[in-house]
Amino acid sequence: MLLTRDEMTFDFGGAKLDPTRDRDMLEWMLNQFLYGEVTGIQIGHWLYDAPDMEAARFLARQSLEEMQHVDNFLRIMGMLGCRPKPAHAAVRFLATGMMGGSWAEHVALEMAQGEGFVLQAFYAIIDTLDHKPSVDILKRAVKQEERHVEFGEQQTAKAIAGKPWLRRRILGLSLVSMWGVNRLAGFMKKRLPADHPVLRHLPAFLAHANQCAELRLRRIGVLERPLAELSRGKRAALVAEAYGGKALGGLGSLLTWPIRILPFYPKRKRLTDTYLADPHVTGFALPAPAAAEDLAET
């Protein structure tokens, strides 16, 4: 990976998340991660677009790993007495609705940046969650996530080599996702309890995540100089250019849109819509009180 664990680690000053006191918050958070791992099914789409055998083999292996991560989160939720519930609409949109439009967008935005962001959140849980069995599961999973991020970084560098227009498009789209993280930090500053030992650090944690995202863009070669040196106008132009290119690329789907909204047009439900009712997921779910007793015994 182009960033070390040390660079990506945020210092929570030894503050801990308590599995009993913070159960509601942990349940909410774990459900966002669970949804994120179920979106691993999208790898099937990218396997069809893989540029070479090495990339195809990587994706085939990654898809198995993401499915194992689904089980990891179900296991952690069972141990902590948390139940599988729907993810927040914004997370569903970011993870599914914003799916990349090309191989380059997928490896840059979903793998290097997106999974890089998730990896940082995993590091943060490992450092703060006061529940060793859960932390041990996450410690094994992060090794795989690190490989996914590294693959995203390498493939992004390959994709943009000799294509300055693609480099600018990836930069423009990355600026939008970093802006989203900034907005989230602003929202959290207003809403989160300022006296919670871990949660009060979240806005600063998100700012740190954005600094890491910028560093990653620079090391891949997407960003040639510090973001602070890019004027507001230049940034706006990059975003407009990126979305202009995407809009042109999406002209085909725009033309079929009137047909797709007709009532008889079949809307296929995917696993990301149905996983909560899937026997594999419901079979994992432990009744909360029993799980809480187990927890008290550990």
Interacting span for Fe ion (CB under 5 A) from 95-103, 145-153, 229-237, 266-274:
145-153
Q: Are 80 and 134 in contact (CB under 8 A)?
A: yes
Q: Are 76 and 137 in contact (CB under 8 A)?
A: yes
Residue 25 C-alpha from the chain's centroid:
18
Residue written as token pair 């390959």? 158
Interacting span for Fe ion (CB under 5 A) from 63-71, 76-84, 168-176, 237-245:
63-71
Kindly state the smallest distance separating residue 121's Cβ from Fe ion, in Å: 11
Interacting span for Fe ion (CB under 5 A) from 51-59, 75-83, 115-123, 269-277:
115-123
Does position 69 interact with Fe ion (CB under 5 A)? The reply is yes
Burial per residue of 271-281, b for 16 or more beta-carbon CB atoms within 10 angstroms, e otherwise: ebeebbeeeeb
What are the CA-CA distances from residue 82 to residues 29, 33, 35, 57, 216 (Å)?
Answer: 10, 13, 14, 35, 34
Kindly state the smallest distance separating residue 148's Cβ from Fe ion, in Å: 4
Does position 146 interact with Fe ion (CB under 5 A)? The reply is no
* 101 three-class SS: coil
Interacting span for Fe ion (CB under 5 A) from 97-105, 142-150, 167-175, 203-211:
142-150
Closest C-alpha to 42, from 107, 88, 86, 87:
107
Residue 66 vs 238, nearer CB to Fe ion: 66
Q: Are 219 and 2 in contact (CB under 8 A)?
A: yes
Reported residue count of the chain is: 298
Does position 66 interact with Fe ion (CB under 5 A)? The reply is yes
Size of the site for Fe ion (CB under 5 A): 6
Question: Hey, which residues between 225 and 264 contact Fe ion (CB under 5 A)?
Answer: none
Kindly state the smallest distance separating residue 69's Cβ from Fe ion, in Å: 4
Kindly state the smallest distance separating residue 71's Cβ from Fe ion, in Å: 11
What are the CA-CA distances from residue 92 to residues 89, 97, 185, 289 (Å)?
Answer: 5, 7, 18, 29
Identity of the amino acid at 7: E
Q: Are 40 and 69 in contact (CB under 8 A)?
A: yes
Cα separation, 26 vs 20, whole angstroms = 9
Residue 235 C-alpha from the chain's centroid:
24
Query: What x-and-dash track marks residues 11-50 binding Fe ion by CB under 5 A?
Result: --------------------------x-------------
Residue 69 vs 106, nearer CB to Fe ion: 69
Query: What x-and-dash track marks residues 164-203 binding Fe ion by CB under 5 A?
Result: ----------------------------------------
Out of 148, 169, 201, 208, point to the residue binding Fe ion (CB under 5 A).
148
Residue 22 vs 66, nearer CB to Fe ion: 66
Binding site for Fe ion (CB under 5 A): 37, 66, 69, 115, 145, 148
